Amino acid sequence: MSEHKTSNQMWGGRFASGPAAIMEAINASIGFDRKLYAQDIAGSQAHAQMLAEKGIISAEDQSKIAHGLNTILSEIEAGTFTFSTRLEDIHMNVEARLAELIGPAAGRLHTARSRNDQVAVDFRLWVKAETRKVAAALTRLIEVLLARAEEHAATVMPGFTHLQTAQPVTYGHHLMAYVEMFGRDLSRARDAAERMDESPLGAAALAGTGFPIDRHMTAAALGFREPTRNSIDSVSDRDFALEFLALAAICATHLSRMAEEIVIWSTPQFGFVRLSDGFSTGSSIMPQKKNPDAAELIRAKTGRINGHLVALLTVMKGLPLAYSKDMQEDKEAVFDAAETLELALAAMTGMMGDLTVNAAAMKRAAGSGFSTATDLADWLVREAGLPFRDAHHVTGRAVALAEGQGKALEKLSIEELKSIHPAITDGVYSVLSPVNSAKSRTSFGGTAPAEVRRQVRYWKKRLERDARRGKTR
């Protein structure tokens, strides 16, 4: 057997032509970075226009380049463009087709530019746009949650710690907890978009260029606030991508927690909520089943997004400055995380918008587990003047008495309560029912219906203010 045939067998059937085929396969990124075609063409248009304005290329060449790039954009959008792995990436695929269309003028487009700053600007444009899409999706979810919270501001349910009944709360208050979480996610998305609003175009390979370019001009043309301030950093870091993945992972974690509650609460054992048919599936063998598959998939996809964050952190952690080919591994993680998060946000928005709430089941459960025991202790401190530790002890005796009789605290007679401590009066019943317990929690940010409605109003005004600011930017 010849040495050549032996080598081919070592490479395996897919790479029958040997090392060159393997190198092409591992080096090519066109299979995924074609997603950046619109950003790549926009960056090239801005760069060519600037080169012409500065007299670095002729107006005639710039006109040919602009026409050729527009043609390529139309071809890609029409699905007639042929992508080649031999040309490695979206940049070389576009440049090769441009040369076919306009000839030698295409070669002048790459003046004062490198693929390093080209990919950096393409990717940053894409991530910035996606971050703003996430912000818009979060806003829609928050609006749905606010509507449901206002609807259920007085719907009493058990509040949990350790998944054990703790104190009565309202379902509106519970939903507003997620409004706060997703509100912070929204803030993170907006902050991240602001930080990545700098254009790396013109940094060239790593050291800048000797051509008299105008980086402020290209930054403005591409919708960036300003150009980046260090050419090495411009091409060698991907913290904007890491930050997107980090905010995606945090947001997905919040979505997963909410999804977990939907899964639990939709069981017959809880029966707090019922999902619409649009977000449920049936069983192939058990006709009575209604499975919360959408919620379960949101829960599972969180692990996928978290994995992408860890993967890119690991890729970047040992890279010396400036650019290394390792950084080609940045895009698939971000592309998939963005698509996954967008789907999860849409699914959660839909589920929360049309699920049915079983207020009666929530109210029944709100009084379980002696959930108003803390209210009794607080009443003893406030009305009878007992130190809290003494009140805690008295309340424990009351719970033991109620538990022994198989009844709720509010069902104990006044005589029974007085037998535990003589300072207890009829006034204690004003806090012993779950409904009254929730109403009494009037502290700022508390569960009282009036306070829940106040927080809903605050968030509605905040979203309206943000929307106005967004229109004026």
Contact 370, 164 (CB under 8 A): no
DSSP 447-462: S-HHHHHHHHHHHHHH
CA torsion through residues 186, 187, 188, 194, sign = positive
Question: Three-state SS across 21-69?
Answer: HHHHHHHCCHHHHHHHHHHHHHHHHHHHHHHHHCCCCCHHHHHHHHHHH
- What is the rounded distance in angstroms from the CA atom of residue 424 to the CA atom of residue 434? 19
Q: Are 453 and 462 in contact (CB under 8 A)?
A: no
Cα-flanking dihedrals φ and ψ of residue 196, to 5°?
-90, 10
CB atoms within 10 A of CB 233: 16
How crowded is residue 262: how many other Cβ atoms within 10 Å of its Cβ? 22
Euclidean distance between CA atoms 403 and 153, whole angstroms: 30
| d(C-alpha 240, C-alpha 113), whole Å | 21
> Residue ranges of the alpha helices (H) in 385-448?
388-405, 414-420, 429-432, 434-440
Catalytic residues: 162, 283
d(CA 392, CA 135) in angstroms, rounded, equals 46
